[in-house]
Amino acid sequence: MKDYIKYLRSKIGHDPALSVGLTAIIENEKGELLLEKRSDNGRYCFPGGGIDYEEKVLAGVSREVEEETGLKIKDWSLFMITSGPENTLTYPNTDVTNYVNLTFYAKIDSSTQKISPEDHESTAVFFCSKEKLPPLKDWLPGSTKMVKKYLQGDFSVKID
């Protein structure tokens, strides 16, 4: 079932919902990270989104990345799993969603693929050096743990 969240919202309206989120930390050959600046709240995050009903996890993260960035990636490593109140988002339309978020990591050669988002969920999608990352206060609250863990060079799988 595509657009599962839309279907779910047709049943529960704007009430709080629990969903599985998928996030991608993508590093290019220069050691830069792929960032997205969201169009709904202006905050930074890594590409990602919600899994569809009965969708396989890796198919979902690959689909979300392709929709939001145009990049085709199939080789993923699990980076971390997060949950809790910092993963609750209230959207501009007042939908409230709490995510159990699965974060994956991949490396790509950005010279072989072009960033070309298919959706309008972001105002910018770009690679950024670690030294020029936006301040943590400008990120989605659920993304800050991912950023800190990555910057520490911690690639052990963490479950929060």
Sign (positive/negative) of CA torsion 99, 56, 127, 125?
A: negative
**How far apart are alpha carbons 46 and 2 in whole angstroms?**
22
Split at pLDDT 50, 70, 90, the class of 118 is confident
Least confident of 7-11, 42-46, 109-113, 118-122: 118-122
Radius of gyration (Cα) for the chain, nearest Å? 15
pLDDT of residue 42: 94
* Cα–Cα distances in angstroms (integers) from residue 87 to residues 24, 29, 31, 41, 129, in the given order: 15, 30, 27, 15, 25
In this structure, the strands spanning 96-107 and 77-82 are antiparallel
Percentage, residues of the chain above pLDDT 70: 100
Residue 120 above 90 pLDDT?
no
pLDDT for the residue 145 = 94
